[in-house]
Structures are given as structure tokens and as C-alpha cells.
A and B are shown apart, each in its own frame.
Chain A
Amino acid sequence: MGFWQIFSDLSWAISGLMAAWMIYDTWHVQQQYDESFLMSSREGAEELTQKEAGK
């Protein structure tokens, strides 16, 4: 087996591992945290907070 074949196989393997890790982490986060918290980001939230604090 030549260098380039090993390189190709390694690329598949490393990509597979990284993809699997991301999928696992996504599932793990979903188990650990409440969905409404994960989706609580709001556009311009900081600007709103600053404005309210300035009142």
C-alpha cells in the first residue's frame, strides 16, 4: 500500500472521527441543557440591556 493510498484512507478515517465527535457532542448538549436555554439567543440583546441600564 503506497503513501497516497494510506493518506486517502487516513483522510476518510479522520473525517469520520471528527464528524462522529460533532454529532455526539450535539446529542450530549441536547441531553444536558434545556432546549429553550440553547435557543434563547436574541439579536441585539446587549444593545437592549445597555439601553435599559442607561434609563
Chain B
Amino acid sequence: MSEQVIEVPKQHQIALKKVLSPIHIWGLGVGIVLVGEYMGWNFSVAKGGALGSLIACWVIGLLYTCVAMIDSEVTSTVAAAGGQYTQAKHIIGPLMAFNVALYLVLAYTMLEAADATVFGDLLQEVAGNFGVANLDPKPFVFLCIIFLAWLNYRGVFVTLTFNFVITAFAFIAIILVFFGVSPWSPGVVLHHADLIHGLPYGWIGIIAAFQFGMWYYLGIEGTCQAAEECRSAARSIPLGTMSGMITLVIAASLTWYICSGLLPWEYLGQATTPLYDAARVTNSTWMQVIMFVATVFSNLASANGCINDASRAWFSLSRDRYMPPVFGAVHPHYRTPYRSILFLIPIAVSFAFTNLLDQIITFSILSGLLGYTFMSINMVRFRRLWPLGSIHRGYIHPFHPLPAVMLFLLCVTVYFATYLGYGGQLLSIMAFFIVASLWFSFHRYQYVKRGDQFTMPWPRPKGY
């Protein structure tokens, strides 16, 4: 078969498609995170009790509000795929950028694998309810990853429109169940007075709960990966991210209120699907059905958003030759980073098939946490090198440097919380990033076209 190679003028460039609006950004950010309301957040209850979990929800909410504010300001200026990677490259330097991109790719790919694993487990549980015991979940895990990768391959607009719809359903489901449990009549359906017993492990329990409190919001920072595909990044990213953060604070508080009023904290702290279990306690069929569908949708939305974000981070790394440049290709028809999407499929599948869900989740949280720590340093440096007025900003966050300082202090506290429960994993992931940094500095960086990686038309930074 002979194929004719399409001749393209040399100066002609291909680019990712600019089609996204604020609702897509909301769907991407909330979509990645909302699964944390359906499962995962409740492990904080095991650490600090129901009240400890609520305190963790709000304190960690403060951490993510700082993340959202900082991200919105920097991304409204650096409107490029890669998000925090691109920010780090321009503001701090190549080694930091390489590490940040690795955090992003690992965090999102592992989260995608965890979502797909849970999707398979949910179907296995349904099959069990129909009398089919020990059904192999692998085909469903595989289908979940491949279908969503296929969707991502074929275009960002349809991918994130799909994410918006299923995420909106999962969010509305929480609100419907909240009204379904009659919150205006305490003691009828909800029994907070009987089920909440102060702080079972004292203040140290609250600190320990911070690690799992991150599940309420983990991934909202992923909105800025879509910056290069927004019709107006300066408008869409701040609007989508901040409205997403407000949505998540509401969803997290409602989720806590529903679950802690229906389930004893000892059970809640180890439940796999707390919202679904809470719906089962009510004996309401419609609530059970809606919670099951919403749990599945939240899983799909999270995995879908993670594929989108991990592929953009990998694409940006490759485009700058931090990784083999072959992955920096854009599909001429769908205008997606199709080779990056394809490349990450076997990695996600192999993580998912290991079935080490808790390890995968811990590594995902730690990768995210390393990224947030960087963001606080990045913000201080950004304002110092390019003060207000020196470049156009789509959004300026208030009270600088308070959010950056608060973010840094909260990250340190969460490191301590993680060390209490997962010290080994924390040290091993640190060791991994040190080895990766050495490999990048002494081997990979020689292939990078140093002049080509800084393309933003910014003025010379102050002091240089």
C-alpha cells in the first residue's frame, strides 16, 4: 500500500485545539476530585474521629484554596499545557520543572489506575449481589482505561464535555441525598448527637487525619493542564478553578454531614464506599440507585480527567525534550497529544493490575504534596521576578504572600501527618525523586534544546 505524505509548508505549525470554556475547566478539576467525596476521605475518620475529619476537611480546604488562588494567578499568565511544569520551568528552572512534571505524571497516572481499580471492584460487587462470586474485575478495569484513553485521543472538547456531564450528575446526587435525609429534622434520619463522640485520639488524631483529608480536594490543581486548550485561559482557568473549589468545599461538607449522621465513626473510618453505604442505611431505593450510579460516574470522571492531565504533562516534557521528543507530537485531525495518551495506557494498566490500591493512592498523594510545596516557593519567586504591572495577569490573588506562606506551613504539617502513618513510603518516594533528578542533571539535560524551551514573550525578570 502506498501512502502519499501530505506536504506542509515549513513555517506551518500544529497546535492543541483551543476549544475549552470555564465549564470544561470546572468539569476537569471537580471531575478529578469528586471521587474523593465518594470514597477515600473517610479514612481520615479512622485517624481523628468524625470531628477530626471535619476539622481536616476545612483545614485542608484552606490548603487547596491557597493552591487554587496561586495556580489561577500563575496559569492566567503562563497559558501552556503542562501547568505547574511550565510554571516551574519559567520561574525556577529546568531541574525543578522536571521534578514537578514527574510529580504530575505519577500522581495522575496512579490516581487513574486507582479509579479504574475501584470501577472494576464496584462491578465485581454488583456481580456478587447477583450471586456471581469472585468475578475477575480485570476486563472492566482494562475497558475503563482504554475507553477513556480512546475518548481523550479523539478530542479534548468531547472528553471534557463528557466529564462535565457526569461530574455535574455526581455533585447533584450529593445535594439530592442531603435533602433526602431531612437535615431540617435532627434525630429523625440523621443522628449526629448519638454518633459523634468528640476526638477519640485527641489533637494528634486531627493532625494524622490531614493526610486523608487531602482526598476531599486532591487534583483540583489539574485545571491548569488545560490552559493551552482554553479559548481564553486568562478567564477560564481562574473562573473554572475557583468555582470548582467552592463546589468541592460544599460537596465535602455535605458528604461529611450525611455520612457522620448515618454511620458510626468506627465503621465510617474503614468503609470502601461511605456515601453509598449511608444511602443503604436509609433503606431508600432511589437514594441507593442514585448513589451507586454517582459513585461509578465519579470514578469515570476522575480517571478521565487524570488521563487528560497526565498526557498533557508528558507531552510538555517531551516537547521540550526533557523526555524523548517523539511524545511531543500533536494529532493533525483531533489536535490532541495522541502519542502521550497512547504511551501512558500500559503504565496505568500495569499499576491497576497490581491491585495495590492503598500503595498507589499513597504515592499519588505524596506526589501531589510535593507539587504543592513547590507552588508556594514558586509564587514568592514569581511575584519577586515579575512584580504586579510588569506582565499581564488574568487574575491577581489577594493578600500575597499570606497564601504562599500558609500553603507552605500546611504542606509541612501534612508531611508530618504522612510520616506518622506512611513514613516508609514518604522516604522511598523522596529517594526516587533524588535518583530521577541525578539522571536528569547528568544524562538527560544534554538533549534539551536550552534556548527553545523558554518561549513566553515576557520581559526580562527583575534583577536579571
Determine whether the beta carbon of A15 is less than 8 Å from that of B455: no
Determine whether the beta carbon of B455 is less than 8 Å from that of A43: yes
Known: A4-B130, A45-B13. A37 touches B8 (CB 8 A): yes
- With a cutoff of 8 Å between Cβ atoms, the chain A residues found around residue B319 in the complex are 39, 41-43
- With a cutoff of 8 Å between Cβ atoms, the chain B residues found around residue A28 in the complex are 3
Determine whether the beta carbon of B14 is less than 8 Å from that of A41: yes
Chain B stretch 330-389: residues in CB contact (< 8 A) with chain A: 330-333, 338-339, 341-342, 345
**Complex Cα–Cα for A11 and B137 (A):** 10
- With a cutoff of 8 Å between Cβ atoms, the chain B residues found around residue A39 in the complex are 319, 325-326, 328-330
Determine whether the beta carbon of B456 is less than 8 Å from that of A11: no
**Size range of the chain B interface in the assembly:** 35 or more
- With a cutoff of 8 Å between Cβ atoms, the chain A residues found around residue B228 in the complex are 43
- With a cutoff of 8 Å between Cβ atoms, the chain A residues found around residue B14 in the complex are 37-38, 40-41
- Separation in Å of the B134 CB from the closest CB of chain A? 11
Asked if B143 is an interface residue, CB under 8 A from chain A, the answer is yes
Number of A-B contacts (CB under 8 A): 122
Determine whether the beta carbon of A4 is less than 8 Å from that of B149: no
Asked if B457 is an interface residue, CB under 8 A from chain A, the answer is yes
- With a cutoff of 8 Å between Cβ atoms, the chain A residues found around residue B80 in the complex are 43-44
**Size range of the chain A interface in the assembly:** 35 or more
- Separation in Å of the A22 CB from the closest CB of chain B? 6
Determine whether the beta carbon of B332 is less than 8 Å from that of A33: yes
Known: A11-B139, A11-B143, A26-B342. A38 touches B330 (CB 8 A): yes
Known: A4-B127, A4-B130, A38-B329. A44 touches B139 (CB 8 A): no
- With a cutoff of 8 Å between Cβ atoms, the chain A residues found around residue B5 in the complex are 31-34
- With a cutoff of 8 Å between Cβ atoms, the chain A residues found around residue B194 in the complex are none
**Complex Cα–Cα for A8 and B142 (A):** 10
Main SS of the interface on chain A?
A: helix
Determine whether the beta carbon of A43 is less than 8 Å from that of B132: no
What does the 1/0 interface line of B226-242 toward A look like (CB < 8 Å)? 00100000000000000
- With a cutoff of 8 Å between Cβ atoms, the chain B residues found around residue A12 in the complex are 139, 142-143
Chain A stretch 3-43: residues in CB contact (< 8 A) with chain B: 4, 8-9, 11-12, 14-15, 18-19, 21-23, 25-26, 28-29, 31-35, 37-43
Select which of B8, B139, B325 is within 8 A of A15 by beta carbon.
Answer: B139
- Separation in Å of the A4 CB from the closest CB of chain B? 5
- With a cutoff of 8 Å between Cβ atoms, the chain A residues found around residue B95 in the complex are none
Determine whether the beta carbon of A4 is less than 8 Å from that of B132: yes
Determine whether the beta carbon of A34 is less than 8 Å from that of B7: yes
Asked if B300 is an interface residue, CB under 8 A from chain A, the answer is no
- With a cutoff of 8 Å between Cβ atoms, the chain B residues found around residue A48 in the complex are 455, 457
Asked if B12 is an interface residue, CB under 8 A from chain A, the answer is yes
- With a cutoff of 8 Å between Cβ atoms, the chain B residues found around residue A45 in the complex are 13, 15, 455
Asked if B420 is an interface residue, CB under 8 A from chain A, the answer is no
Known: A4-B132, A21-B150, A23-B342. A43 touches B12 (CB 8 A): no
List 20 interface pairs A-B (beta carbons < 8 Å), by A numbering: A8-B135, A9-B139, A11-B139, A14-B147, A15-B139, A18-B147, A18-B149, A22-B342, A25-B153, A31-B3, A32-B332, A37-B14, A38-B329, A41-B16, A41-B330, A43-B86, A44-B79, A45-B13, A46-B18, A47-B457
Ordered nearest first, which 6 A-B pairs have the shortest CB separation? A11-B139, A38-B329, A11-B143, A31-B3, A15-B146, A44-B455
